Amino acid sequence: MSLPSAATSAFDLPGAREVVGRGFELMLAATSQLRRVSLYFGALFLAFLGPLLVLGVAVVLVAPPELRDLVRVVQSGGQASGLAPIRDPEWASAFMLLMLGLYLGIAGAGLVALEGGIVGIAILAGHRLNRPITLRHALIRSRQVFWRVVRASFLLGIISSIVQVLAGGIVGVANLPGDALTIITLAVSTLVAAPFCYSQAGIVLGDVGARESIRRSVRLFRARPRTALVIALFPAVFGGMIQLWALSTGGEVLLMLGQVTNLGFETDTLHSAVTVVVLLAAITATGSLFFTLGALFAAPQVVTFLGLTHYAGGLDRAAPPAPPAPAATQRGLAPLPVIRLSPRPPMLPVRAAPAPPAQVAARRDPGAGFHWVTRPMLAAIVAGALLGLAGIALAAASL
């Protein structure tokens, strides 16, 4: 069966000079859907970090001076030596709750960002194949492969850490300045990460395990080493710059807005409430920004992975089961052809699971039991809210 032109162009393989541009084109094609999906991840960021913000506001408003100084030191990354001890046990407990909420919120936001990267790959691959998938199906795919991606990220993180330590030790012996050390470490880390730049797409689209995705990523790197180097270099060089620019610009806008409208916590209750609302909106925007940037950095990887393998069968795992055959087919008439997401055989064949019996496959639905917020996420969000409420109760009891 001949493939339509849209599906055929989905497997075009760009060169090293074109891969970033093709990634931008894919992002533009999926902009409307990515914008809607970013709101979902912004809401998750707000759910994890919102209770921490409420507790922090309570500390700023009614905390004793020594606790305010300690919070400032912790926020700036300094040491707490030389500060007056917190004598009030209620305020000491409130500060401990603040720190627990901080760790819980950061951990939850990190996991949400990881899931956002998986969802971004799935959505971009669907648009590249001219078969857009919904957020629900992208989340189903994310839940199916989430722990595989975590294991692969952990393994690659160990490799990257070892290389950075070795590179830093070697450069430190040469007594180079700090800027040179940073540049050399970044260059070495990028070179080491290049062979593994397809590992996440291999899990999401290729439907393999963590170690197998790393092995196959190395094989794809050998096929097009310069293209893989550009894919690894793009987020390593521009990722931090873009995130820093976006966050600094957003912070400056918030400061200007606060100065013009006299926002803050040192005026009346109304201004304090409006300030909290503005900060909550800023947290939501930050979550949306992280998802969008993650999709932007993954777009070249998706384009090249599809061009090298001609395979995206992992997305079929999240698709609903096929409907029962119509009566015309049962009478012996030929069914209409269906174009699957993987219309060509992969260059690197995937180990597929044994096909289940027909009656079992007909009943199996990958979306069965789907929840927009998983139970572990909900438990972490509730725990953060309870920490915030407990901190506010302790602060109120000490007044």
Q: What confidence score (pLDDT) does residue 339 get?
A: 35
Q: State the DSSP string of 181-230.
A: HHHHHHHHHHHHHGGGTTHHHHHHTT---HHHHHHHHHHHHHHSHHHHHH
| Cα separation, 378 vs 19, whole angstroms | 39
Instruction: Parse the chain into domains and list their residue ranges.
Output: 22-75+87-318+389-397
How many other C-beta atoms lie within 10 A of the C-beta of residue 106? 13
- 3-class secondary structure for 226-267? HHHHHHHHHHHHHHHHHHHHHHHHHHHHHHHHHHHHCCCCCC
DSSP assigned state of 343: -
Q: Residue 176: what pLDDT?
A: 59
What is the pLDDT at residue 4?
41
What pLDDT is attached to residue 328?
42
Q: What is the pLDDT of residue 152?
A: 93
pLDDT tens across the length of the chain (399 residues): 334 444 447 788 888 889 999 999 999 999 999 999 999 999 998 888 887 777 777 666 665 555 555 455 444 444 444 444 455 566 667 677 777 777 888 888 888 889 999 999 999 999 999 888 899 999 999 999 999 999 999 998 888 788 777 766 666 655 656 566 667 777 777 788 889 999 999 999 999 999 999 999 999 999 999 999 999 888 877 766 666 666 666 666 666 666 666 666 666 667 677 777 888 888 888 889 889 988 999 999 999 999 999 998 899 888 765 455 454 444 444 443 333 444 444 444 444 444 444 444 444 566 667 788 888 888 888 887 787 777 667 666 665
Q: From CA 250, how far away is CA 258, in angstroms rounded?
A: 12
The Cβ-side half-sphere exposure at 239, using a 13 Å CA radius, reads: 18
The pTM score is: 0.78
Q: Look at residue 199 in the predicted model and tell me its pLDDT.
A: 94
